[in-house]
């Protein structure tokens, strides 16, 4: 990421500087926060492509800014955080337990999740987050679900560090809803006693009957104390009105970034690069690891088949937790060559449903069998 020379600007008290990546900023003086979390002075923070962060100033604040090609900075009078998000945070701080965020694509679910986490941290609570948006994963690689402990304020879910992950192998929840529900429930069980608050971010599949059934099943397995909804559509109302959990329908921020299908694809490609760049070639075989498809629970035997070259794989341990992702380099009758950064010996290699180029660009997806 190439950034220009730094320049200094001042954010007036009560204003927000809305930054769209690529950009890097450093608070030099004054006091500001991002998504309810205090920002430290003299600490450079990078905003990547296809992301934006709001920097709200509670007093006159000086910022050093370095902007890359396509990066933006917009001064906004007031806060970009809707008032009812603060009310939701206060309720969560009081009730604690598990909260689930549901909403449409680009409604601001990840932003709300980060804001709630930061506000709970500010009140002294311990916080874990589950990122269940397989299509736009922030914490772990694309096509995975990931839990993270949040020890300090974050400027977005993508700043959280993966703690425990499971491989889904798909970026469309409609193809594997039962798998996602099972893995999300498993993560919730693993971490429910490790923090005062667990916040679950979900995918944006909402507006059709099968999506509503899926969300009902997910909520039933997660059994949250609170459900926070973000929607511009009646479909979410149908969901919130029919679940036996305390729920709040919150306003989407008017500054929530709307991304095209191509933008979302490119954002996933940033994720593939993040977890695959610097990979080495490893050899696996049926003597060292089992092999199966993403939607098959049992081991699968394959002959050498070039169809699988380039496909995303998950390398799993004996408990089927994700060690890391990889890419099929070659599949031969006697063994398989994989590109990965994983150094541990996997017990299981799971072939996903996404085809990646040698540059980790998403060049295909669809049923393999």
Residue 219 has pLDDT above 90, yes or no: yes
Q: For the chain, give the longest Cα–Cα distance.
A: 66
> What pLDDT was estimated at residue 296?
78
Say what percent of the chain tops pLDDT 90: 79
> What pLDDT was estimated at residue 194?
85
- Residue 229: closest CA among 125, 88, 118, 130: 88
Q: What is the mean pLDDT of residues 272-293?
A: 94
Which pLDDT band holds residue 304 (cuts at 50, 70, 90)? low
Taking the alpha carbons of 249, 255, 259, 263 in that order, is the dihedral positive or negative? negative
Most trustworthy range by pLDDT among 45-59, 119-133, 325-339: 119-133
Q: What is the mean pLDDT of residues 303-324?
A: 88
**Cβ(32)–Cβ(57) below 8 Å:** yes
Q: Give the C-alpha distances (Å, rounded to integers) separating 268 from 109, 183, 303, 338.
A: 17, 21, 30, 20
Top-confidence residue, 37 or 334: 37
> What pLDDT was estimated at residue 48?
87
Which DSSP string do the residues of 30-47 spell out, in sequence order?
Answer: S-EEETTEEPPBT--EEE
pLDDT in tens, 146-157: 999 999 999 999
Instruction: State the span(s) of the chain assigned CATH 2.40.30.330.
Output: 261-365
Residue 64 has pLDDT above 80, yes or no: yes
Q: What is the mean pLDDT of residues 333-337?
A: 89
Top-confidence residue, 239 or 353: 353
**Cβ(65)–Cβ(7) below 8 Å:** yes
Residue 349 has pLDDT above 80, yes or no: yes
Q: In CATH, what is the architecture of 83-250?
A: 3-Layer(aba) Sandwich (3.40)
- Residue 227: closest CA among 137, 103, 81: 103
Instruction: State the span(s) of the chain assigned CATH 3.40.50.300.
Output: 83-250
Which pLDDT band holds residue 302 (cuts at 50, 70, 90)? low
Residue 305 has pLDDT above 70, yes or no: no
Reported CATH class of domain 7-77: mainly beta
Average pLDDT score over the chain: 92
d(CA 95, CA 21): 35
Residue 366 has pLDDT above 70, yes or no: no
DSSP letter at 207? S
Q: In CATH, what is the architecture of 261-365?
A: Beta Barrel (2.40)
Which pLDDT band holds residue 208 (cuts at 50, 70, 90)? confident
Instruction: State the span(s) of the chain assigned CATH 2.60.120.1030.
Output: 7-77
> What length is written for the chain?
369
């Amino acid at each position: 990421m190439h950034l220009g020379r730094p320049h200094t600007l001042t954010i007036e008290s009560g204003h927000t500087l809305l930054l769209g990546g690529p950009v890097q900023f450093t608070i030099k003086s004054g006091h500001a926060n991002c998504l309810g979390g205090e920002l430290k002075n003299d600490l450079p923070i990078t905003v990547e492509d296809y992301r934006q962060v709001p920097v709200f100033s509670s007093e006159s604040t000086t910022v050093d800014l370095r902007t890359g090609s396509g990066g933006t900075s917009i001064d906004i009078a007031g806060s970009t955080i809707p008032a009812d998000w603060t009310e939701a945070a206060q309720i969560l701080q009081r009730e604690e337990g598990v909260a689930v965020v549901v909403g449409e694509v680009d409604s601001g679910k990840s932003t709300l999740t980060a804001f709630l986490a930061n506000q709970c941290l500010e009140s002294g609570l311990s916080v874990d987050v589950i990122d269940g948006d397989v299509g736009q994963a922030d914490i772990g690689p694309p096509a995975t679900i990931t839990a993270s402990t949040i020890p300090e304020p974050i400027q977005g879910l993508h700043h959280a560090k993966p703690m425990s992950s499971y491989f889904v192998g798909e970026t469309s929840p409609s193809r594997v809803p039962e798998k996602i529900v099972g893995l999300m429930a498993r993560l919730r069980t693993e971490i429910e006693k490790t923090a005062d608050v667990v916040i679950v971010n979900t995918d944006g599949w909402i507006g059709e009957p099968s999506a509503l059934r899926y969300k009902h099943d997910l909520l039933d397995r997660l059994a949250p104390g609170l459900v926070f909804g973000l929607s511009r559509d009646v479909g979410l109302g149908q969901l919130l009105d029919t679940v036996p959990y305390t729920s709040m329908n919150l306003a989407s921020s008017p500054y929530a970034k709307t991304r095209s299908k191509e933008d979302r694809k490119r954002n996933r490609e940033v994720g593939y690069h993040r977890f695959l760049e610097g990979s080495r070639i490893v050899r696996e075989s049926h003597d060292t690891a089992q092999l199966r498809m993403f939607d098959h629970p049992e081991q699968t035997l394959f002959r050498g088949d070039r169809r699988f070259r380039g496909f995303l794989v998950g390398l799993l341990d004996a408990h089927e937790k994700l060690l890391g992702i990889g890419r099929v380099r070659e599949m031969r009758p006697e063994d398989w060559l994989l590109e990965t950064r994983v150094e541990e010996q996997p017990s299981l290699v799971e072939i996903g449903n996404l085809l990646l180029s040698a540059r980790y660009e998403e060049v295909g997806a669809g049923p393999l069998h």
